[in-house]
Amino acid sequence: MSLIASLAAFLDPAALAIVGGGTVLATVLRTPARDLARGVVALKAIGRTPFDAGPLVTQVEALSRITARHGVMQLDRSVIKDPDVSAAMNAIVDGADGAIVRTLIEDRRVARYERQRAAAEMWAAAAEFGPAMGMVGTLIGLVRLFTSMTDPAAIGGAMAIAVLATLYGALVGNLICLPVAARLKRLARAECVERGRLAEPLARLATREAPCLRPMAVA
């Protein structure tokens, strides 16, 4: 019971509402709605290992051997879960050459990185707002303290808001939001670099399978 009582001393609903509600409100006002959704969904990636393009490169090489034996139309029957590789294979089936496929992969890689970076920036913004809202809570607590000097029973509650708001702001910013933002940025950079490995084998496959356009003989 003593431990529970000790922890209860660090709980203050008013300070928590100021810091938590203020941080959420400021983040929502600053961040576009689609980036907010991406930031929340990105939490699922926190526990994942960094992206490794090795299995996808192996799959592309296997598909390259299949097309060498049976033709490019066999790609239509292949199960490709990765959206970038799938888009590249569809372009190859449609007759795109290596330059087009390389550009397609690079464009999708950059667009994916920008989406992931926007999600990380949402959490970085929340990390900035947390301590700021803690300071706001501290000022509110001090105002209540000064206006309650004649009421000794209210002084303790005002001091609790002032002190705990600062504590909550520091914890929200530095223990939650900042580590999440840093983790998402590292994962985004790692995936961006790894996906760069896909451009070359896909471009080679497209160059090999692209229709040969021969000039028509002039009579």
Long-range contacts (CB closer than 8 Å, 24 or more residues apart) made by 100-105: 100/206, 101/202, 101/203, 101/205, 101/206, 102/199, 102/200, 102/202, 102/203, 102/206, 105/195, 105/198, 105/199, 105/202, 105/203
Question: Considering only CA atoms, which of 17, 196, 22, 32 is closest in space to residue 121?
Answer: 32
Q: Please report the pLDDT score of residue 5 as a whole number.
A: 61
The answer to whether the CB of 165 falls within 8 A of the CB of 140 is yes
Q: How far apart are the first and last CA of the chain?
A: 101
Report which DSSP code applies to 176.
I
Specify burial of residue 129 (Cβ count, 10 A radius: 0-12, 13-18, 19+).
buried
Q: What does residue 100 show for φ and ψ, rounded to 5 degrees? A: -65, -45
Q: Please report the pLDDT score of residue 7 as a whole number.
A: 66
Q: How far is residue 19's CA from residue 32's CA, in Å, rounded to a whole number?
A: 21
- C-alpha 171, offset from chain centre: 21
Cβ neighbors of 93 (< 8 A, separation 6 or more) are 72, 73, 75, 76
Q: Please report the pLDDT score of residue 157 as a whole number.
A: 83
Q: What b/e readout covers 79-110, taking b as 16+ CB neighbours within 10 angstroms?
A: ebebebbebbbebbbeebbbebbbebbeebbe
Specify burial of residue 36 (Cβ count, 10 A radius: 0-12, 13-18, 19+).
middle
Write down the residue that tokens 């084998």 correspond to: 201
Q: Please report the pLDDT score of residue 136 as a whole number.
A: 94
Q: What does residue 189 show for φ and ψ, rounded to 5 degrees? A: -65, -40
Domain boundaries, given as residue ranges, for the chain: 13-209
Q: What kind and span of H or E run contains 190?
A: helix 178-195
pLDDT tens-digit map of 142-177? 998 888 777 777 788 888 888 999 999 999 999 999
Count the neighbouring beta carbons within 10 Å of the beta carbon of residue 73. Answer: 10
pLDDT along the chain (219 residues), means of 10: 64 91 95 93 92 94 88 80 93 91 96 96 96 94 85 82 93 95 96 95 90 47
